[in-house]
Chain A
Amino acid sequence: MSNPMRSMLYIPGNNPGMIQQCAFYGADSILLDIEDAIAVSEKDAARNLVSHALSTLDFGDVYMTVRINGADTEFFERDLEKIVPSKPDAIRLPKTQSPEDVIQADEIITRLERENGIEEGSISIHAMLETARGVVQAYEIASSSPRVEALTLGGHDLAADIGLTRTKEGMEILYARSAVVMAAKAAGVMVFDTVYIDINDLEGLLREATMIVGMGFTGKAAIHPSQIPVIHEAFKPEAKDLKKAMRVVRAAKEADKKGIGVYTVDGRMVDGPIVTQARRIVGLARISGMDIEGVDE
């Protein structure tokens, strides 16, 4: 897998100025949106613009995702036909309700990859869950195709679907958050939290971001570049956790070299999941700009 993706910044697919600069806004990943951000009359133009931008611009290391229109719209297939050949890293499927939604998209993407000489399976799917039905089927959706790389929670549509109002505290989607995280972990995929709407309230964002990091989310969506450093701050490991993780990673390296299977760090047995967790912390520290000398591979 690529670098950790702490942040995913929404960029409207009809804004060429922002699209050409988005790689420099500091987000780990970008979501070019041709769904909700785009009026029906603008769909064709946005689709063409996003496709052209992906084919011609260099976005460097930034992970590029496109949110297409849902399978229940007339734009769904046209979006895939146009976007897949321009090779985004992932396609985000909005309002995913069932494994069948994923399988349907998977089949079309597979056909388009073949037709366009793209390595089969190279374009991932991020399934967006924003209905009660989608949340309930989260695990089935996450494990419905090897293309599914992430689950993402759409808080506002979900709240509307279950007849509740979104609040800053977020109690109305607490269960959904927990359920989606657990399903994603069970399926071994990433999981992105929903957006924080009030772009002027960075303190509120930090509180929410800290909370969702604690719940197990691997990333969070952003709707304004000013939210990015705040989200990244929430994902920055604690210095003491990093120190411990570095000891584990070093020990794992040594053990690998010597061919030792079982070993201890700080007097405790170390096994696979602990090493994976330690490597994740070191990875987050690396992209947070923390000092990880000695374990930097």
Chain B
Amino acid sequence: MVPDNVPGWGNFSPYNGPASRLDGSFDTVTAPIPHKVNVPSRNKVAPSLQEAIESAGLCNGMTISFHHHLRNGDAVLQMVMDTIQKMGIQDLTLAPSSLTGAHDCVADYIRNGTVRRISTSGVRGEVGKALSRGELEIPAIIRSHGGRARAVEEGSISVDIAFLAAPACDTAGNLNGSEGKSACGSLGYAIHEARHAKHVIAITDNLVNYPLHPHISIAQFYVDQVVKVDSLGDPSKIATGAARLTKDPLQLRIAQNAFNLIKASELLASGCSFQVGVGAISIAVASDVRDYMRGTGIKGGFCVGGIGGFMTSMLEEGLFEALFDTQSFDSSVTDSMLRNPGHVEMDVSWYANPFNKGCLVNNLDVVVLSALDVDLDFNVNVLTGHDGVLRGASGGHSDTAFGSKLCIVVLPSYREGVPSIVEKVQTVVTPGETVDAVVTERGIAINPRREDLLDLAKRSRLPLKDMDDLKREIESVTGIPDPVEFDHDHPVALVEYRDGTLIDTIYRVK
């Protein structure tokens, strides 16, 4: 059930299939970006953050945005919001590319009226709890990465001021994400933000002499002002090391099942392309892929998406031609981004926007995705926990599921006694039509729409299970949990599919 009009936001169409707007007949526009011509200046450094905000002309009711490349170490959002709150500005629309574990403070800005609307990809921690309690009067809008890029370009999100944390920046605003103590790697979301926001303020703890070189992620002609601060955040949480290969036997088992399915699909061939995240199971799958490629001498085409140290080591080894990096998952990749021409910094529209002239997910062969739970129709929830509370991110999930030839969702059959395969997921983020297989330690369920894949998997004698049987088997161990009770008169968030239609509604938990 989704509304067609949302007070505070406007009209929406309901989801009508993953390709309903991708048959060539749907028209869209790129919204114009009003822009006040700046006085030419060799030095854009503002005296202080507050003066930069004042000079940008921030008023009540405007839309501001941030990127989430600094992961759990980000201090920029809180620094900016604190200043704005002290300036007495209210009723803002907060439209960051995502909210991470570093952004619990947003719950306070909701409560004191600084923030009135939220549009984002992920909501966690205190913010998730506050939203699920109904503390924000206007429901939040959750978008996929590609969907957000689309919304920004068409003007559904019209950013007045983008505050962009810049790990390295010069006095004219040339900046990158790969140098300095707060280096985070790719600035894929920020690049897109800089191109479409009316006013761009770069915030840096590493102001370098003009010109920053040789690597520039965002060029000076996109940046209005530069603010120098002492610190962008906690380097230990920004500059995390590469995730290590898991030793958990259950995760390894799931990964092995997933890898065997990829092998059976016959997609593991010369020129193949992959997206795997940095979840423990995903990395274990990548490790199996690496061993297989080493053993067979197959060279892949490219890897895409969130990129971690494991993938850069595969690029380094020559197992892939290129990495397209929209978001680095650990800072171990920054050196690779600076030195390896095969490691390409890609903006988020290029990555996943369904309405541009060809996003990269459409070239993807295999994606391995995680999930909170999955239902009998293969619909995937990555947003609400089993308590009904918001605790996840839409991310590139539905984008890559749609674009790839083989979309595999990996998850343990239950977590802390709660089954992961359910009758109906609480929140549909990725529609089952775009998911090809669900892989658990107990076996592989293949979407009946993919008869070809089913045949290949049978030929490889993979441990196949019907989704109903798998669900029953899991429930014989866990039982069936009581459903969460929701107040259906009180929507707290709306889930937009990548094409701008609404796919689901999240309600207040009773």
A residues within 8 Å of B by Cβ? Answer: 20-21, 24-26, 57-58, 225-226, 289
Give the residues in chain B near A21, CB-CB below 8 Å. Answer: 249-250, 441
Q: Which residue of A lies closest to B253 (CB)?
A: A24
Q: With A21-B441, A289-B461 as known contacts, state yes or no: A26 contacts B477, CB within 8 Å.
A: no
Give the residues in chain A near B441, CB-CB below 8 Å. Answer: 21, 24
Contact across chains for A24 and B250 when beta carbons are under 8 A apart: yes
Contact across chains for A57 and B477 when beta carbons are under 8 A apart: yes
- Closest-CB distance, B435 to chain A (whole angstroms): 22
Which of B249, B250, B461, B477 interacts with A226 by CB under 8 Å? B249
17 contacts between A and B (CB under 8 A): A20-B477, A21-B249, A21-B441, A24-B250, A24-B253, A24-B441, A24-B442, A25-B249, A25-B253, A26-B249, A26-B253, A57-B477, A58-B476, A225-B249, A226-B247, A226-B249, A289-B461
- Closest-CB distance, A97 to chain B (whole angstroms): 34
- Closest-CB distance, A99 to chain B (whole angstroms): 38
Cα–Cα, bound, A25→B441 (Å): 8
Question: Is residue B4 within 8 Å, beta carbon to beta carbon, of the partner chain?
Answer: no
Give the residues in chain B near A57, CB-CB below 8 Å. Answer: 477
Question: Is residue B252 within 8 Å, beta carbon to beta carbon, of the partner chain?
Answer: yes
Not counting A21-B249, A21-B250, A21-B441, a sample of 11 additional A-B residue pairs whose C-beta atoms are within 8 angstroms of each other reads A20-B477, A24-B249, A25-B249, A25-B253, A26-B249, A26-B253, A26-B256, A57-B477, A58-B473, A58-B476, A226-B249
Chain B contact patch, size range: 10 to 19
- Closest-CB distance, A23 to chain B (whole angstroms): 9
Contact across chains for A225 and B252 when beta carbons are under 8 A apart: yes
- Closest-CB distance, B425 to chain A (whole angstroms): 23
Q: Which parts of B438-469 form the interface with A (CB within 8 Å)?
A: 441-442, 461
B residues within 8 Å of A by Cβ? Answer: 247, 249-250, 252-253, 256, 441-442, 461, 473, 476-477
Give the residues in chain A near B442, CB-CB below 8 Å. Answer: 24
Closest 9 CB pairs of A and B: A225-B249, A24-B441, A25-B249, A24-B253, A21-B250, A26-B253, A24-B250, A226-B247, A24-B442
- Closest-CB distance, A25 to chain B (whole angstroms): 5
Q: Which residue of A lies closest to B478 (CB)?
A: A20
Cα–Cα, bound, A57→B478 (Å): 11
- Closest-CB distance, A223 to chain B (whole angstroms): 12
Cα–Cα, bound, A280→B247 (Å): 32
Q: Which residue of B lies closest to A20 (CB)?
A: B477
- Closest-CB distance, B474 to chain A (whole angstroms): 11
Give the residues in chain A near B473, CB-CB below 8 Å. Answer: 58
Q: Which residue of B lies closest to A21 (CB)?
A: B250
- Closest-CB distance, B413 to chain A (whole angstroms): 9
- Closest-CB distance, A57 to chain B (whole angstroms): 7
Give the residues in chain B near A58, CB-CB below 8 Å. Answer: 473, 476
Give the residues in chain B near A20, CB-CB below 8 Å. Answer: 477
- Closest-CB distance, A70 to chain B (whole angstroms): 29
Cα–Cα, bound, A289→B459 (Å): 12
Give the residues in chain A near B461, CB-CB below 8 Å. Answer: 289
Cα–Cα, bound, A25→B342 (Å): 38
Give the residues in chain A near B256, CB-CB below 8 Å. Answer: 26
Q: Which residue of A lies closest to B250 (CB)?
A: A21
Q: Which of A21, A25, A225, A289 has the most CB of B within 10 A?
A: A21
Cα–Cα, bound, A52→B218 (Å): 62
Give the residues in chain B near A225, CB-CB below 8 Å. Answer: 249, 252
Cα–Cα, bound, A25→B252 (Å): 8
Q: Which residue of B lies closest to A26 (CB)?
A: B253
Cα–Cα, bound, A26→B255 (Å): 12
Q: Which residue of A lies closest to B460 (CB)?
A: A289
- Closest-CB distance, B290 to chain A (whole angstroms): 16
Q: Which residue of B lies closest to A286 (CB)?
A: B461
- Closest-CB distance, A58 to chain B (whole angstroms): 7
Cα–Cα, bound, A104→B418 (Å): 44
- Closest-CB distance, A191 to chain B (whole angstroms): 26
Cα–Cα, bound, A289→B257 (Å): 13
Give the residues in chain A near B247, CB-CB below 8 Å. Answer: 226
Q: Which residue of B lies closest to A228 (CB)?
A: B249
Q: Which of B247, B249, B441, B477 has the most CB of A within 10 A?
A: B249
- Closest-CB distance, A287 to chain B (whole angstroms): 11
Q: Which of A24, A25, A57, A58 has the most CB of B within 10 A?
A: A24
Cα–Cα, bound, A24→B476 (Å): 16
Give the residues in chain A near B249, CB-CB below 8 Å. Answer: 21, 24-26, 225-226
Give the residues in chain A near B252, CB-CB below 8 Å. Answer: 225-226
Give the residues in chain B near A26, CB-CB below 8 Å. Answer: 249, 253, 256
Cα–Cα, bound, A26→B249 (Å): 9
- Closest-CB distance, A128 to chain B (whole angstroms): 24
Give the residues in chain B near A289, CB-CB below 8 Å. Answer: 461
Cα–Cα, bound, A64→B249 (Å): 18
Q: Which residue of A lies closest to B441 (CB)?
A: A24
Q: Which residue of A lies closest to B476 (CB)?
A: A58
Cα–Cα, bound, A21→B417 (Å): 12
Q: Which residue of A lies closest to B260 (CB)?
A: A289
- Closest-CB distance, B415 to chain A (whole angstroms): 12
- Closest-CB distance, B303 to chain A (whole angstroms): 25
- Closest-CB distance, B198 to chain A (whole angstroms): 54
